[in-house]
Amino acid sequence: MACRKLYGSGSMMSNGGDAGIRILEEDEIREAVNIASGRGSYVAMHAHGAEAIDVGVKSGVRTIEHASLISDETLQYMNGRRDVGIMPTLAILHDLIESDYSEFPGAVKKINKLKDDVKTSLMNAANYDVVIGWGTDVSYASYKKNPGLEFKMRKEFLEYSNVDILKQATIKSAELLMMQDKIGTVKAGKQADLIVVDGDPLQDIRVMYAPPARVIKNGAFIR
């Protein structure tokens, strides 16, 4: 299912501007939601700032990408709902803090200024019954070098539990994509997209930091 994505706030990756500022009006968001709904789809929205996130969620957006500074008020509104969720992107935050992004000096400055607030906001999300999915903003080169970085950041930066992290990467993401009848769990009749890892991630999530030992797609070994 192809979703419609809106750009609802400023960006972390720009050298200038405010990452949290809202740049879409409520009626614009609602119209996009109406159009997507009429085509059997949904709206995802890039949003870092609390106001942009709140307006998006209350205007019918299904997934908030990044959700960096989500407020407690918005989390309370989302608590227990299954028609909306967030897609944090922590790997890119790590890259901006730890790596040489000399071509984006403004982005590095912004993220270092906001990282503690991002941590507080997204850690707070785990205190509510909010659907948290999986996403990334890293380059292919970064992902190839460190494919398990999102797992590491959710564990070591956000301190999420192992079971919650695994659910976020599987069934919770499937729910947000409205594909839980096809993916997200191991069950007869679903797509057999599986990985084999060396160890038990429920006991030690660090086994997910490394590339999987085996990859199965549609029931066939591809490596």
Q: Measure CA 156 to chain center.
A: 16
Phi, psi of 43 (to 5 degrees): -115, 130
> Residue 110: pLDDT band by 50, 70, 90 thresholds?
confident
CATH for 4-184 is 3.20.20.140
* Top mean-pLDDT range of 14-18, 130-134, 140-144: 130-134
The mean pLDDT value of the chain amounts to: 92
Lowest mean pLDDT among 17-21, 141-145, 202-206: 17-21
Burial of residue 187, with CB atoms counted within 10 A of its CB: 0-12 exposed, 13-18 middle, 19 or more buried: exposed
Domain ranges of the chain: 4-184
**180 vs 111, higher pLDDT:** 180
> Residue 105: pLDDT band by 50, 70, 90 thresholds?
confident
Rounded to the nearest 5 degrees, what angle is found at the Cα of 45, between the Cα atoms of 9 and 136? 95
pLDDT at residue 1 tops 70: no
